[in-house]
Amino acid sequence: MNPRRKKRLLITSLLVTGLAVSIALVLYALQQNIDLFYTPSEIIKGKNETGVKPEIGQRLRIGGMVVPNTVKRDPSNLKVSFDLIDNGGESVTVFFNGILPDLFREGQGIVAQGELINATQINAFEVLAKHDEEYMPPEVSDALKGLDHLKINSNK
Amino acid sequence: MLAEMGQFALAIACMLAFLQTVYPFYGIYTRQQSAIESAKILTVLQFLFVLLSFLILSYLFLINDFTVAYIATNSNSALPWYYRLSAVWGAHEGSLLLWVFLLSFWSAAVALLSKRLPIESVARVLAVLGLLSLGFYLFVLLTSNPFSRTLPYFPVDGRDLNPLLQDIGLIIHPPMLYMGYVGFSVAFAFAIAALLEGRLDSAWAKWSRPWTMAAWIFLTLGISLGSWWAYSELGWGGWWFWDPVENASLMPWIAGTALIHSLAVSEKRGVFKSWTVLLAISAFSLSLLGTFLVRSGVLVSVHAFASDPARGLFILGFLILVIGGSLLLYAVQASKVKSRGRFELFSRESMLLTNNILLIAALIVVLLGTLLPLVHKEIGLGSISIGEPFFNRIFSVLIVPFSLFLGVGPLVRWKRQSLSELSKPLGSLLILSVVLTVLFLVSFASHFTWLALLGIFLGFWMLCTNCYELYLRATHRFSLLKGLIKLSNSHWAMSLGHAGFAVLVIGITMTQNYSIERDVKLAIGESIAFEHYDFHFDGLQSVQGANYTGNMGIFSVRKDNHLIATLKAEKRIYTVQRMPMTEAAIDAGFTRDLYIAMGEVLPDGAWAVRIYYKPFIRWIWFGPLLMALAGVLMILDRRYRTKPLQERF
């Protein structure tokens, strides 16, 4: 091979290797870090679109309304638990150890990110509440549509 | 009445923008000198009218005219006057007015500052800018008019500005960021004008370089201000969240960084020219994409505003028109651009090419991570979110070759460099950086991690090679001191910019690896100790602000029984919107920050308190500040001021 072709081959193979490595890396990182969104009913009955239930141990995001009078605190530390409900009528329990966001209130829509520990319980590592009066994540507002008609023991 | 005048001024500015687009092109095609020359006057006039409109809106905010709907929803008579002014760009309508105002500001700057450029070329650039302005004027006037009235039933008082935005950082963050976003329109217009004319030479690169750099400086400052604001105001103590809207600002920044490097090559060596044009188009297109993502409400984000489908559709259409049109033009015209000049595999050119490839890879990763959730949802697979770990992992890989090459690049000659000549000094520099890294970690790190070792090494590698390069260049012809004085501004700019990046990398590494974050339950009189610091909860006071009430927790921090700081963290309730807000208390330092934020009061009267120890976090903002300063130095280089330009661009 003449030196010029050799150089071109070198450059091309470097580029191809680089590209392959980066694609592999991106896909690997993506696979581990995609968190699907579920509503409480979808956790219990399976996703609306596909009917697939989440597996125990899976990382996921969940959005729903905090059921009034279900927020329980551990008196000696920051552990807290509460139930979430959506317009499908099912509810799940979320456990969290940390500081709840400023706008966390009973009867409000929130999103939590965490791991499913059994069929109806989630261990959250992050809890987000909507951050002003007008803003609510669309998926949560969809999940809560018509919730007022459901009979929940609300103190409203 | 005044509000109507504001709207009227805006409509006139819109008409002027239309003329500014049509007239110069008409002049160029019919060879009428007067029509070509009108471009500058029309641009300045357009700027004056939008300025008038902007001033009127600001004045209406100052006098609390709640008959204007936008003011009624975003201001309040109890709001201090400076927040009333910053509320002008506190929400959708006003921030778009700011956008179009800045766009015409940049256009006017081009019109007034490019006296040495041939008039026909300036006219083309201004016409392209006029077309962009026209699009945005129509957007403001048709879908988001900040001057619409609430009459006849106007409210007695306004609904107040979102408390999160009531902060000094938020007064300057949006204008800075927009200056950057919109500033890329100048580079874009230069590129499009050059494509239309079918002539791209190094004079073109030379002319668009200072403008691009100016935009990049503002964007750099804007993004770091936003990061600093998030850190001090949101009460989570994070400095970057990979939130879609942050990503939307990072993408044009990465493209802009690639662009300023590629422009340097095009100017000095006359190669990469069509690539540079593509980057100029991309940088501005990404700014537009960012606007679309933020303003259309398609993204779930901290920054999302109430969405209106008509607005989203309009921007999407505009986006397709601008990006599609410019890429089409590029496809037709770029083949005419010939790059002269050859270079070897190991040369400054290929170093800069590597820089560009890595930056584009980073850009694609951010783009993918930002848009994938949208695509996933639209094709019916359900909502997903892509977490921080995805971006962090990929960036911590990409940064390694990027930093290594950044160190070597400036040492390499243009065209051709022999490897053997550089291998010895590079070896010594490598050993020096390793030694410095170990010394640094021994003094500042509490434990060992591989990632920290790598990050700090990369930082010192860039600093060491940078100093060596300065030394080489300075002693090339003169003694060290004299040589350093004789170095050109743009050379200092490169050194300073790269040093800023090294500082940033060191800051990120230390903060990410050695931060300590504790959420604890503390009652008054209790204390907690970690990392040699003792935090004591002294007491609670109530506070009363102009438009809020709240509690202030007082904490004293001791180290070895020495009082280091008294921190006062607040929990406020903004009375109008009934919205609670956390005001963190921060003891800032060169090597560490101590951070306290009040959580909630617990049933037994104790407080949930967030206490952070953040080593070297200031470096994260100090680095970009150095980079911005470097940009200023570059613009001030003699090259861009004295030499009159003979050739056309």
Tens of pLDDT, residues B579-622: 788 888 999 999 999 999 988 888 888 899 999 999 999 999 99
Is the Cβ pair B383, A102 closer than 8 Å?
A: no
Helix then strand count (H, E) for chain A reads 3, 7
Chain A contact set for B306 (CB, 8 A) = 134-135
Is the Cβ pair A26, B394 closer than 8 Å?
A: yes
Q: What is the CA radius of gyration of chain B?
A: 27
Looking at residues A9-21, what average pLDDT do you find? Answer: 84
CB B223 within 8 A of CB B624: yes
For the beta sheet containing B585-587, the strands, ordered from the edge strand earlier in sequence to the opposite edge, are B516-522, B607-615, B592-601, B585-587
Is B55 an 8 Å CB contact of chain A?
no
Tens of pLDDT, residues B545-569: 888 888 899 999 999 889 989 999 9
Chain B contact set for A61 (CB, 8 A) = 383, 385
User: Which among A16, A33, A105, A111 is the top mutation candidate for probing chain B, defined by the most B β-carbons within 10 Å of its own β-carbon?
Assistant: A33
Is the Cβ pair A132, B381 closer than 8 Å?
A: no
CB A120 within 8 A of CB A132: no
What is the per-residue pLDDT for B291? 80
Is B647 an 8 Å CB contact of chain A?
no
By C-alpha distance, the chain A residue nearest B398 is: A22
The A residues from 132 to 151 touching B (CB cutoff 8 Å) are: 132-135, 137-139
Report how far residue B462's alpha carbon sits from residue B459's, in angstroms, rounded to the nearest whole number: 5
Give kind and range of the element (H or E) at residue B439. helix B419-444
Chain B contact set for A7 (CB, 8 A) = 345
Torsion, Cα A140 A145 A147 A150, to 10 degrees, reads -140
What is the nearest CA distance from B387 to chain A, expressed in angstroms?
6
Is the Cβ pair A113, B385 closer than 8 Å?
A: yes
Is A113 an 8 Å CB contact of chain B?
yes
Is the Cβ pair A11, B382 closer than 8 Å?
A: no
What is the per-residue pLDDT for B618? 95
Is A128 an 8 Å CB contact of chain B?
no
CATH topology assigned to domain A36-149: OB fold (Dihydrolipoamide Acetyltransferase, E2P) (2.40.50)
Chain B contact set for A135 (CB, 8 A) = 304-306
> What's the whole-model pTM score?
0.90
Domain extent listing, chain A: 1-34, 36-149
Is the Cβ pair B384, A37 closer than 8 Å?
A: yes
C-alpha count within 13 angstroms, C-beta hemisphere, residue B522: 26
User: Which among A53, A102, A134 is the top mutation candidate for probing chain B, defined by the most B β-carbons within 10 Å of its own β-carbon?
Assistant: A102
Query: Which pLDDT band, with edges at 50, 70 and 90, does B302 fall under?
Result: very low
* Other Cβ atoms within 10 Å of B380 Cβ, number: 8
CB-closest option in B345, B519, B582 to A78: B519
**Global ipTM:** 0.77
Looking at residues B60-78, what average pLDDT do you find? Answer: 90
Which of B433, B439, B503 has its CA nearest to residue B465? B433
What is the per-residue pLDDT for B339? 66
Is the Cβ pair B300, A49 closer than 8 Å?
A: no
Report how far residue B279's alpha carbon sits from residue B553's, in angstroms, rounded to the nearest whole number: 50
CB-closest option in B382, B389, B521 to A78: B521
Report how far residue A116's alpha carbon sits from residue B366's, in angstroms, rounded to the nearest whole number: 28
Q: What is the CA radius of gyration of chain A?
A: 22
Chain A contact set for B608 (CB, 8 A) = 78, 99-100
Query: Which pLDDT band, with edges at 50, 70 and 90, does B73 fall under?
Result: confident
What is the per-residue pLDDT for B647? 41
Is B361 an 8 Å CB contact of chain A?
yes
Report how far residue B470's alpha carbon sits from residue B458's, in angstroms, rounded to the nearest whole number: 18
User: Which among B383, B405, B571, B596 is the top mutation candidate for probing chain A, defined by the most A β-carbons within 10 Å of its own β-carbon?
Assistant: B383
Q: Is B434 exposed, middle or buried (0-12, 13-18, 19+ CB in 10 A)?
A: middle
Is B367 an 8 Å CB contact of chain A?
no
Average pLDDT, chain B: 88
Which residue type, as a one-letter code, is found at position B341? G
Report how far residue B187's alpha carbon sits from residue B125's, in angstroms, rounded to the nearest whole number: 9
Chain A contact set for B520 (CB, 8 A) = 78
List, in sequence order, every residue forming a beta bridge with B551; answer none if it has no partner. B542, B571
CB-closest option in B357, B387, B519 to A98: B519
Report how far residue B154's alpha carbon sits from residue A106's, in angstroms, rounded to the nearest whole number: 33
Best-predicted range by mean pLDDT (A21-30, A102-111, B539-548): B539-548
Is the Cβ pair B393, A29 closer than 8 Å?
A: yes
Is the Cβ pair A99, B519 closer than 8 Å?
A: yes
Is A12 an 8 Å CB contact of chain B?
no
Task: Name which of B335-339, B491-495, B513-517, B621-625 the model is least confident about.
Answer: B335-339
Is B483 an 8 Å CB contact of chain A?
no
By C-alpha distance, the chain B residue nearest A128 is: B302
Is the Cβ pair B389, A35 closer than 8 Å?
A: no
Tens of pLDDT, residues B197-254: 887 777 888 889 999 999 999 999 999 999 998 888 777 778 998 888 889 999 999 9
